[in-house]
């Protein structure tokens, strides 16, 4: 346990998870995994034939962030877009089964629900095919989202903006979020995808990985010195209260506006079984939930780092439960 805070304090924050309410707005997806084995090459073309032995769907994109907060027993409000299709119905039903509030999820008739299908054989991805639209959502949809968020503002402790560049997190929506939550005391956290962080100007905290942070400042992060330089530049240029850079299997680095920097590492166990798929969703979901439960930036980063450390020890897109997280403490 860190010298900065005690196990008792971290457990007090986690005990508040069940009372915390977090809004997640962004690109909702469904991840479809088809797994099997290859025993022969097709006689029709020089491609492998996969004999399927399992076929399952997982919540992806911002829906995976919602799922991670749900797994920690926090209350989640979802805002996003689905299509008027079978995939959208399936996704909506799965969210509702988990008691995630879906009143802010809008259907667009001419837009498909984002579906990413991966064919995996012998642990290796053979091919992935996507059904999606990356065109901007309609003005009418944005207006509905903003109106809905305004009605629940006073119930919330934190907001997650989960940007996967699928056309939902556009400038008009970001401006609406600023209008609603500015001065409200609700912490707004951003998982970015855009390389120009000016779009996220003035939000409370942004959580890029080290590749995204490097693109945002225009140079590659290759060591501790370049990491510190990038973090300080992003805080200074975009008026964030804090910046949390995730560093793959290495852990996370928290930069705060007062100039303080804190680097945290994953456990040796997490590094031994290393799969970052979905770990960023776990990190920002748990971070936001911790902030909604009264944590400081440092406390929230510590808890998020522990949760992400568990997530990277699991294969594929995975959630971490509050019970699992408590066990690591």
Query: Would you say residue 63 lies in a domain?
Result: yes
Q: Decide if pLDDT at 273 tops 80.
A: no
Residue 280: pLDDT band (50, 70, 90) is confident
Q: Which residues are catalytic?
A: 281
144 within some domain = yes
Does residue 272 have a pLDDT over 70? no
For residue 314, pLDDT over 80 is answered with no
Specify the CATH number for the domain of residue 224. Answer: 3.40.1190.20
In a domain, 40, yes or no: no
Which residues have a Cβ under 8 Å from the Cβ of 163 and sit 6 or more positions away?
Answer: 26, 27, 169, 190, 191, 192, 193, 194
Average pLDDT for residues 166-193, to the nearest whole number?
96
**Share above pLDDT 90 across residues of the chain, in percent, rounded to a whole number:** 78
pLDDT band at 320 (very low <50, low <70, confident <90, very high): confident
- Tell me, yes or no, whether 204 lies in a domain: yes
Question: Is residue 48 assigned to a domain?
Answer: no
- Domains of the chain: total: 1
What interhelical angle do 139-152 and 171-181 show, nearest 10?
20
Say which DSSP state 154 is in: G
In a domain, 124, yes or no: no
pLDDT interval class at 268 (50, 70, 90)? very low
| Structural domain includes residue 43 | no
120 part of a folded domain: no
- Both tokens of 256, joined, read 């705060």
What pLDDT is recorded for position 39?
Answer: 86
Residue 127 has pLDDT above 70, yes or no: yes
Q: How confident is the model at residue 267 (pLDDT cuts 50, 70, 90)?
A: low
Domain range for 310:
7-30+58-114+131-328
Decide if pLDDT at 225 tops 70: yes
């Amino acid at each position: 346990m860190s010298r900065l805070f005690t196990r008792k304090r971290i457990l007090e924050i986690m005990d508040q998870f069940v009372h915390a309410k977090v809004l997640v707005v962004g690109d909702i997806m469904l991840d479809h995994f088809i797994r099997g084995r290859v025993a022969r090459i097709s006689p029709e073309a020089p491609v492998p034939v996969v004999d399927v032995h399992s076929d399952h769907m997982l919540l992806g994109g911002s829906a995976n962030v919602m799922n991670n907060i749900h797994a920690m027993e926090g209350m989640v409000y979802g805002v996003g877009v689905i299509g008027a299709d079978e995939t959208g119905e399936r996704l909506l039903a799965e969210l509702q089964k988990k008691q995630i509030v879906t009143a802010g999820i809008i259907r667009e008739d001419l837009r498909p629900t984002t579906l990413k299908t991966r064919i995996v054989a012998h642990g290796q991805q053979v091919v992935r095919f996507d059904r999606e639209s990356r065109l901007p959502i309609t003005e009418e949809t944005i207006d509905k989202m903003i109106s809905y968020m305004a009605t629940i503002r006073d119930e919330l402790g934190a907001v997650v903006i989960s940007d996967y560049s699928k056309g939902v997190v556009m400038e008009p929506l970001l401006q609406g979020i600023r209008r609603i939550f500015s001065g409200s005391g609700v912490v707004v956290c951003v998982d970015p995808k855009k390389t120009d962080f000016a779009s996220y100007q003035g939000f409370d905290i942004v959580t890029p990985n080290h590749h995204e942070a490097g693109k945002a400042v225009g140079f590659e992060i290759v060591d501790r010195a370049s990491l510190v330089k990038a973090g300080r530049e992003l805080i200074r240029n975009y008026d964030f209260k804090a910046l949390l850079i995730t560093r793959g299997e290495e852990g996370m680095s928290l930069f705060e506006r007062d100039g303080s920097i804190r680097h945290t590492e994953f456990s040796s166990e997490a590094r031994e079984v290393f799969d970052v798929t979905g770990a960023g969703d776990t990190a920002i979901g748990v971070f936001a939930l911790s902030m909604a439960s009264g944590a400081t930036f440092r406390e929230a980063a510590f808890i998020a780092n522990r949760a992400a450390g568990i997530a990277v020890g699991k294969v594929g897109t995975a959630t971490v439960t509050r019970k699992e997280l408590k066990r690591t403490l």
